Amino acid sequence: MDGQTFFDALILGIVEGLTEFIPVSSTGHILLLGHFLGFESTGKTFEVLIQLGAILAILTVYSARLWKIAAALPSDQNARRFVIGILLAFLPAAVIGVMAHGFIKEVLFESPALICSTLLIGGIILLWIDRLDLKPRYTNVMDYPLWLCFVIGVFQCLAMVPGVSRSGSTIAGSLLLGTDKRSAAEFSFFLAMPTMVGAFTYDLYKNRNVLSVDDAAIITVGFIASFIAGVFVVRGLLDFVSRHGFAPFAYWRIFVGLAGFAGLYLVG
């Protein structure tokens, strides 16, 4: 395993951590960047397994909040409803992810042009939603009704297509269903935990017989980089969204989508 591969893994891990929790598609970014870097991972496992770093980042930042919710479960109905809501929101992606795993990894992950298209289209949609004069009815994730949680989970399934963005689809769906921007982003944080743990566990299980020591080494590099970058994003994102909305991310998606198409045209 050469030094260039480790350097590529480091860069891709940083990009994963920086983009996982913002609505720009971390998977789309690392697949597209990996394409231009010439980075190849066994069974496309690197791109999924380094998400563990981002998972630990959000668990670290939200540890006190998570502990408070867990401690309140026996006596607090709102806490129990919130946990059930997160599980309901996770359910659609769990079912579709298992059923479509092979198609996602073997077909969708191998199409840079598709990723550029979804980045571009998603950016335009996110910009449109950000400019709508929506009237929020739900401003606290602890008060989200169960039906709302489930429908947000259905929106999350759109992110099975790389470039759509897990956080982007859940946030866009939340806003259209009546939430405010800050709580939409926060619910996306909480929903990321079971979703990403599930994706990590299932992908590791499916590829357990093909991963090598070299694979483990570059995944570790990407994981550490993803964790460090993810901590910074999680700590600052909610305040940023409260001040600026989602338009900056929409413009970034459009820029990356267009730059990706230009790169594909020039270098293939």
What is the full DSSP assignment across the chain? Answer: --HHHHHHHHHHHHHHHHHTTTTT-HHHHHHHHHHHHT---GGG-HHHHTHHHHHHHHHHHTHHHHHHHHHHTTT-HHHHHHHHHHHHHHHHHHHHHHHTHHHHHHTGGG-HHHHHHHHHHHHHHHHHHHHS----SB--GGG--HHHHHHHHHHHGGGGSTTS-HHHHHHHHHHHTTB-HHHHHHHHHHHHHHHHHHHHHHHHHHTTTT--HHHHHHHHHHHHHHHHHHHHHHHHHHHHHHHHTTHHHHHHHHHHHHHHHHHHHHH-
pLDDT of residue 178: 96
pLDDT of residue 2: 67
Please count the CA atoms within 13 angstroms of the CA of 263 that sit on its side-chain side: 16
pLDDT of residue 215: 84
From first to last of the 268 residues of the chain, give the pLDDT tens digit.
Answer: 567 888 999 999 999 999 998 999 999 999 999 999 988 887 778 888 888 898 899 899 999 999 999 999 999 999 999 999 999 999 999 999 999 988 988 888 889 999 999 999 999 999 999 999 999 999 999 999 999 999 999 999 999 999 999 999 999 999 999 999 999 999 999 999 999 899 888 888 888 887 888 888 898 999 999 999 999 998 999 899 889 999 999 999 999 999 999 999 998 7
